[in-house]
Amino acid sequence: MSLQLGDTAPDFTAETTEGKINFYEFLGNSWGVLFSHPADYTPVCTTELGRTASLKKEFEKRNVKVLAVSVDPLDKHFSWRKDIDETQHVTVDFPIIADEEKKVANLYGMMHPNASATATVRSLFIIGPDKKIKLMIVYPASTGRNFNEVLRVIDSLQLTSDFSVATPADWKAGEDVIVVPSISTEDAIKKFPKGVKVVKPYLRYTPQPNLN
């Protein structure tokens, strides 16, 4: 059966551009982003890995470790990485897994045979410090992912894991959030001293609780 939200992220050991890595040891107590792309030396993937490298500080700020998966061999990763650095004006220093045997790809359901028999699709998993899968997205080869959205989702996941809130459509860090339905308005008023705006009994907003 394929992986679902809330499942424990499968552990693995793999060769990467940063040496042999055990996934759980690599993550430690951090959050993790594990993402696949179809192949080395492809244009969209070049921009995706470059964009990820350019967001290094944003991932670090959020205590997130990033790991890419590619079914190409290590020597190809090393030479392609030079192109990414050159064309995207970055230094790619997060690990790229050499998953020639598709061990990780199969473990995480990154092969979608009706899309491609040989290449992984663009799967992305966000994994919490408890090693549970918090989010999965799957894009086709032809569409590069929006990494601002990945950061936005991480902000929401981290906030909603700490407070009894949910984030509305198109929410961005700093904007008002929604009080979860399981909390009564009376309790919400006590819990959220910045105030609770009741639009409907089931639709209640409060300022983002972890901001000064």
Q: Pick one of 3, 44, 136, 178: the residue that binds ligand BEZ (CB under 6 A).
A: 44
The least CB distance from residue 167 to ligand BEZ, in Å, is: 30
Nearer to ligand BEZ, 114 or 142 (CB): 142
Q: Does the protein bind ligand BEZ through residue 114 (CB under 6 A)?
A: no
Contact predicate 108/81, CB 8 Å: no
Q: Pick one of 2, 29, 114, 142: the residue that binds ligand BEZ (CB under 6 A).
A: 142
Tell me how far apart the alpha carbons of residues 97 and 138 are, in angstroms, rounded to a whole number: 18
3-state secondary structure 163-205: CCEECCCCCCCCCCEEECCCCCHHHHHHHCCCCCEEEECCEEE
Q: Does the protein bind ligand BEZ through residue 160 (CB under 6 A)?
A: no
Q: Does the protein bind ligand BEZ through residue 45 (CB under 6 A)?
A: yes
Q: Pick one of 141, 151, 154, 165: the residue that binds ligand BEZ (CB under 6 A).
A: 141
Alpha helices in 62-102 (DSSP H): 74-88
Q: Does the protein bind ligand BEZ through residue 42 (CB under 6 A)?
A: yes
Sequence-ordered list of residues with C-beta below 8 angstroms from that of 187, at least 6 positions apart, any chain: none
Per the annotation, the verdict on 126 as an active-site residue is no
Nearer to ligand BEZ, 70 or 167 (CB): 70
The least CB distance from residue 83 to ligand BEZ, in Å, is: 13
Nearer to ligand BEZ, 82 or 194 (CB): 82
Angle at Cα 120 formed by Cα 114 and Cα 123, nearest 5°?
100
The closest alpha carbon to 87, from 47, 37, 147, belongs to 47
Q: Does the protein bind ligand BEZ through residue 43 (CB under 6 A)?
A: yes
The least CB distance from residue 77 to ligand BEZ, in Å, is: 14
The closest alpha carbon to 58, from 85, 40, 31, belongs to 31
22-41 residues in contact with ligand BEZ (CB under 6 A) are: 38
Applying CB under 6 A, the residues found at the interface with ligand BEZ are 38, 42-45, 141-142
Q: Would you name the residues annotated as active-site residues?
A: 45
